[in-house]
Structure 1
Amino acid sequence: MATAAAGGTLVIWWPAFTLGAYNAVFFDDMLALWAVTTAVLLSGAVLRRRGALPWGGWLALALPSVWIGLAIVAPRADGFHYLHYFEVVLTLVCAPMLTWLLSRLFLPDYSALPVHARLGAVAVTLVAGLLAFLLGKFNFLFLSCADFDMSGNNTPAHCSHGRPLNRV
């Protein structure tokens, strides 16, 4: 369960943080989500004979590819602001779904586990995502604009001014 929760948390934490700090999910986060879900989707295809993925899992793992398809056909001149909402929903749906699917794939006796244990990894992923969002929203409490500058990120509108946290 911990492995699956860690995998889902690695997928959700940075998009959730940037959503809190910048009110946006960045394209590189979406492409990382696409890469991970595609790898799990392809792994599920290889393991299909074992019934590793239910049809809903296949559908959830295909959603990031749908996002790419929508981004390709979206009008560039005026923008397609609804795509942003799809990115947020996609992150919030795919990361917990990915955790659940990783649990099914990596734990041979997954179906024998009690329901609370099966949902535990998904709950951990959701809580980690919520915490990352809140850390992004309240970044000014523990990070400065200089921290964002040093890391190569843009400074969010509500960062605090001061020295970087990790100054040597």
Structure 2
Amino acid sequence: MATAAVGGTLVIWWPAFTLGAYNAVFFTNVLALWAVATAVLLSGVVLRNRGALPWGGWIALLLPSVWILLAIVTPKAHGFPYLHYIEALLTLVGAPMLTWLLSRILVPDYAALPVFQRLVAVAATLAVGVLAFLLGKFNYLFLTCADFDVSGNNSPAHCAHGGPFHRR
């Protein structure tokens, strides 16, 4: 279960942080979700004879590709005004769903586990997502604008001024 929880948290922590810090989910976050979802989808195709992936899982794993197709066919001049909300929803809901699907695929005898144990990995992913969002929202408490600059990111509007954090 820990493997699936780690997989889900790797996908959700940075989008949740950037949503808190910048009020935006960056395209790189959505593409990371797409990459993981596509890898799980392709694995599901190979493992389909084991019944590891329910039909709802197939649909969930296709959603990031649907977002990309929407972005491709949307006129760039005017755009699709709600596409950003779809990105945020897709990322924040998709990571826990991926955790659940990874659990079904990677954990032998998944169905035999108690419901509580099955939900632990998804709950851990959700908890990390909420905590990462809060860390992004309150980044000024432990990061400075220079920390963002040094890392190659733009400084969020509410960062603390000062030099980068260095351990001594």
Q: After superposition, where does 1:1-168 map in structure 2 within 5 Å?
A: 1-166=1-166
Cα distance in 1 between the residues matched to 2:72 and 2:167: 41
Task: Output the amino acid matched with 1:148.
Answer: F
Alpha-carbon offset, residue 74 of structure 1: 1.3
What's the CA shift string for 1:117-168, capped at 9, x where partnerless? Answer: 0011000000100000000000000000000000000010000100111377
Within 2, Cα distance between the matches of 1:4 and 1:167?
Answer: 32
Q: CA RMSD in A?
A: 1.0
Deviation at 1:94, TM superposition (A): 0.9
The offset of 1:109, in angstroms, is: 1.0
Q: 1: CA distance between counterparts of 2:167 and 2:149?
A: 12
TM-score normalised by the chain length of structure 2:
0.97
Extract unaligned runs of 5+ from structure 1. none
TM-score by length of 1: 0.97
- Secondary structure of 1:158's counterpart equals coil
Report Cα offsets for 1:39-74 as digits up to 9, x if no partner.
000000000000010001101100000000110111
Report the AA paired with residue 15 of structure 2: P
**After the TM superposition, which of the residue ranges 75-84 and 152-161 deviates more from structure 2?**
75-84
Bigger shift: residues 77-86 or 105-114: 77-86
Letter of the structure 2 residue corresponding to residue 135 of structure 1: L
The amino acid of 1:103's aligned partner reads S
Structure 1 counterpart of 2:55, which letter? W
Counterpart residue type for residue 57 of structure 1:
G
Note the alpha carbon deviations across 1:86-122, whole angstroms, 9 max, x for none: 0011012210010001111111111011001001100
Query: For this pair of structures, how many residues does the alignment match?
Result: 168
Q: Secondary structure at the match of 2:75?
A: coil
- Aligned partner letter, 1:145: C
Moved over 6 A (4+): none
Determine the C-alpha separation between the residues in 2 that align with 1:122 and 1:47: 22
Q: Structure 2: state its 5+ residue gaps.
A: none
Letter in 2 for 1:3: T
